[in-house]
Amino acid sequence: MLRIDILTLFPEAFSGYLAHSIIGRALERRIVDIRLHNIRSFTHDRHHTVDDYCYGGGAGMIMKPDPLFEAVESLRGEIGEGNYPVILLTPQGKLFTQEMAGTYAAFNNLIMICGHYEGVDERVVEHLVTDEISIGDYLLSGGEPAAMVVTDCLIRLLPGAIGSDISLVEESHVDALLEYPQYTRPPEFRGWKVPDILLSGNHKEISDWRRKQSILRTARRRPDLLKKAKLTDTEMNLVKSTDLNNN
Ligand code: ADE
């Protein structure tokens, strides 16, 4: 079972999110164990100080190293030493991808540290953390939403978390392509029809149509991803011969 220990200043921020849907079920079925720890409980002064001014001046507060070291060391004492990642969620980290999610989902233990304020003391980065992860090129006010994103993404990869493993294969980002358009009933809604081919029952044609839609959608929206996708010569020609600015 994967155990994720999350160090945060706001453990309450996670409770609503973790209780529902796939994550809630995975917790109930003991596919994953998520433990939240308040960084403040690893302070020893009267005010439970977790941050301090930045050496050299500058606006904003920096997270102190001592509570974070103590928290991780106390977890290590409980879990044991080992090669598991100690992840800091930070806008300065490596951009999180589906591929990284696959790598992390294979561990038995992960520790995540949610950064806050203007950042964390660099000694935490250098001597405590093994991986720094960013979920995108934008600034959040804290690492908590990022830890939830990463946790969500990992859990749905764990065996048994999702009803059918088949649904994991044909998904956006799994093979560097975005997913094809999907429809459910009714077949016509406000005059907008589901493409005939999807109602045809011809599995080969449906599968070809979906593949084509995936490729064209990726070419239009995320040409950066298309470079990583494995396309046949025919598929490459399709991309070249299609006006990608049109719909
Ligand atoms: N903390 C603040 N912004 C972040 C981001 N984009 N990713 C991860 N952690 C963050």
- The string of DSSP letters for 57-120 reads --SSEEE-HHHHHHHHHHHHHHH-S-S--EEEEEEEEEEP-HHHHHHHHT-SEEEEEE--TT-B
To the nearest whole percent, how much of the chain has pLDDT over 90?
A: 87
Residue 72 burial (10 A CB sphere; 0-12, 13-18, 19+):
buried
* CB-based contact 63:50 (threshold 8 Å): yes
Maximal C-alpha separation, the chain: 70
On average, the pLDDT of the chain sits at 95
Supply the residue whose CA is at minimum distance from atom 2 of ligand 1.
140
| CATH H superfamily, domain 172-241 | tRNA(m1g37)methyltransferase, domain 2 (1.10.1270.20)
Please give the CATH number for the structural domain made up of 2-156: 3.40.1280.10
Q: Binning pLDDT at 50, 70 and 90, where does residue 67 land? A: very high
**Model confidence over 75-103: pLDDT tens digits?**
999 999 999 999 999 999 999 999 999 99
* Per-residue pLDDT, 166: 61
User: What is the bridge-based pairing of β-strands 131-134 and 32-38?
Assistant: unpaired
CA distances (Å), 149 to each of 193, 202, 229, in order? 34, 37, 24
The Cα 236–Cα 220 span in angstroms is 13
Supply the residue whose CA is at minimum distance from atom 4 of ligand 1.
91
The Cα 45–Cα 29 span in angstroms is 39
Residues with CB under 6 A from ligand 1: 89-91, 115, 134-136, 138-140, 143, 146
* CB-based contact 7:41 (threshold 8 Å): no
**217-239 average pLDDT score:** 95
Residue 189 has what DSSP assignment?
E
Supply the residue whose CA is at minimum distance from atom 5 of ligand 1.
91
pTM for the predicted model, two decimal places: 0.93
| Ligand 1 atom with minimal separation from the 133 CA | 8
> 10 Å Cβ neighbour count for 246?
6
* Per-residue pLDDT, 245: 84
Asked, colleague to colleague, whether 2-156 and 172-241 share their fold, the answer is no
The Cα 161–Cα 27 span in angstroms is 9
